[in-house]
A and B are shown apart, each in its own frame.
Chain A
């Protein structure tokens, strides 16, 4: 028996009707997404500059892109953005899942603990960055005091002043703020795994690790991958926490690609080449996401 189909006459009638109904949304999207995007693409092929307000920018072809792609400083900042994304999203994933598993266990005060979980995530980035700047302060910061008191180190370190350390310390500050999102998504997914399945598996002799690997992980994999994509996009374009904590220093070691875009457009007033840098960033992040989606689909099929 074939599935009931929509009568032909109704279907041909509904398509032309849906178009005018969609029109407001299409117009809205064209204004808030389409126009800025096209404008950025146009600007990236010109020598537009905030220096020359009111004058028509000249067409320079792919010049801005050639400059961007051959600029070793930009390569370095792209690398910093990539490192930042991989490190922070990786840590957020591990920490988020661990905390979610913990909060999924029944214990006294669980509701309060779950409510507290969201707190770091709710703090504005600027406040979080300022707070961590204080914690990392080489002379009066809590981190140095803590490490010295528990005897882990004898000397105070300049956490944001050492080239090898600074970016990692910013990553940690970012992880603290953003792991709750991963934890929340995981926690919601965990609620959908019936306890009976775990009990049955335990009766069959499956250990905690096996149960996590075979039962829990498949159940949360879908929601987790959404969290990973969301966080990767955000982490790759990181700007605000860097701006507040290090301004790209020491010696450019925490300068990210977004920082270059900002500097080019607003500090140097070069709107054209700023747009080109921004578009290169968009392309790289689109590639990252495409690669990730491809990988996860292949894994799903296997």
Chain B
């Protein structure tokens, strides 16, 4: 009995002195790797011995629903969550995320890219710190292009089609282009890039406008590439990682993908085409745009239910700090402007940093409405119907626009 009491009191006293444990939610794919995130976190724990951080990784596709269900479950949820640029409006409206506007030093405003700040802003307030500054770039296989007789990568989508057709005609690869057109958010990201190139918009004057002009031309371009046989038809069931595998296997001349693919496609352990991978901003359209990009950034925030907001904020500041971001700049480029001239960041990836200078300045955001998940689902279905030839691009987008006009 005595030993039991002793054991109990020991247990209780150790519990009282136990460090705060933060629960953090991250995603499994793209941008920083799990190992990188673990290393960054361990570094934080050594400088903050009273704080422990337990990490959880889920696929991107499960991230939104995890955050939402944890928030509705009440207090025992997460202390730090990774969130996508398309969610702040919804999360702010529903009170899922803590307003941290006052915590961010004013001196940071000019140091971080405006596009990155957009990731955390809703209704004039900030709900976290941007962490992954990302957009889709055009990757190309230098060896295939030079075999086909092209010295420079395409600057316009029309030029890209010409090059792709020539590559196909010479039999260098069966399908020169590969995309992530599975029924998922990835499809919306590719579509948004093209919509930005063709000068389209999602909404105009509060009404859906993607079913005409640039939005329609973007989808017509997508279906055209399939009809001409230059886009890999399997793109319709691919996500980003599938795109990376096909491109890294040397089976595609062009691919649209996030920053993280640059390092991995150039890594001989991961890729058969290491050393031949070129990267440029996604092309533009003559007379409309010089380059195209979409905002695919992500940020770290504190759920309102967290009981350790101060510790969580200290951890977020560490993860988003300039030194940490510069150390791990291989899979995700920093949010800090001045990092882009630092050798630690540019070394071995000058092409990527050069492309980033252009792309990060022209990133088109996806619509910032609270009912974005509904809009995205409707658009995904519509785009797939057109890509599968079940509907014409116009019919498909008109259907999606009808749904979109009811959302806000």
Residues of chain A whose beta carbon lies under 8 Å from any beta carbon of chain B:
50-53, 138-140, 158, 160-163, 246-252, 263, 266-269
Least Cβ–Cβ distance between A141 and chain B, in angstroms: 10
- A-chain residues with CB within 8 Å of residue B93 when the two chains form the complex: 51
Known contacts A139-B246, A268-B371: does B71 contact A247 (CB below 8 Å)? Answer: no
Cα A188 to Cα B93 with chains together (Å) = 57
Cα A266 to Cα B62 with chains together (Å) = 10
Would A51 and B94 count as touching, CB distance under 8 A?
Answer: yes
Q: What 0/1 pattern do residues 101 to 125 of B give for CB contact below 8 A with A?
A: 0000000000000000000000000
B236 at the binding interface (Cβ < 8 Å): yes
Q: What 0/1 pattern do residues 69 to 89 of B give for CB contact below 8 A with A?
A: 101100000000000000000
Closest CB pairs A-B (n = 10): A249-B183, A161-B237, A251-B384, A138-B234, A266-B65, A51-B94, A50-B72, A161-B236, A251-B385, A267-B373
Cα A51 to Cα B91 with chains together (Å) = 8
Least Cβ–Cβ distance between A182 and chain B, in angstroms: 30
Cα A208 to Cα B208 with chains together (Å) = 68
B346 at the binding interface (Cβ < 8 Å): no
- A-chain residues with CB within 8 Å of residue B245 when the two chains form the complex: 139-140
Known contacts A50-B68, A139-B251: does B374 contact A268 (CB below 8 Å)? Answer: yes
Residue from B233, B246, B381 in contact with A252 in the complex, judged by beta carbons closer than 8 Å: B381
Least Cβ–Cβ distance between A87 and chain B, in angstroms: 21
Would B64 and A252 count as touching, CB distance under 8 A?
Answer: no
B61 at the binding interface (Cβ < 8 Å): yes
Q: Which residue of B lies closest to A271 (CB)?
A: B72
- B-chain residues with CB within 8 Å of residue A53 when the two chains form the complex: 71-72, 94-95
Would A139 and B377 count as touching, CB distance under 8 A?
Answer: no
Max chain B Cβ within 10 angstroms of own Cβ: one of A50, A249, A263: A249
Would B388 and A268 count as touching, CB distance under 8 A?
Answer: no
- A-chain residues with CB within 8 Å of residue B249 when the two chains form the complex: 139
Least Cβ–Cβ distance between B27 and chain A, in angstroms: 16
Least Cβ–Cβ distance between A152 and chain B, in angstroms: 19
Residue from A161, A263, A269 in contact with B377 in the complex, judged by beta carbons closer than 8 Å: A263
Max chain A Cβ within 10 angstroms of own Cβ: one of B65, B184, B237, B377: B237
Q: Which residue of A lies closest to B236 (CB)?
A: A161
Least Cβ–Cβ distance between B73 and chain A, in angstroms: 10
Would A249 and B182 count as touching, CB distance under 8 A?
Answer: yes
Max chain A Cβ within 10 angstroms of own Cβ: one of B184, B370, B371, B388: B388
Residue from A51, A52, A251 in contact with B183 in the complex, judged by beta carbons closer than 8 Å: A251
Considering only residues 327-384 of chain B, those with a C-beta below 8 Å from chain A are: 370-371, 373-374, 377, 380-381, 384
- B-chain residues with CB within 8 Å of residue A50 when the two chains form the complex: 68, 71-72, 94
B289 at the binding interface (Cβ < 8 Å): no
Would A158 and B373 count as touching, CB distance under 8 A?
Answer: no
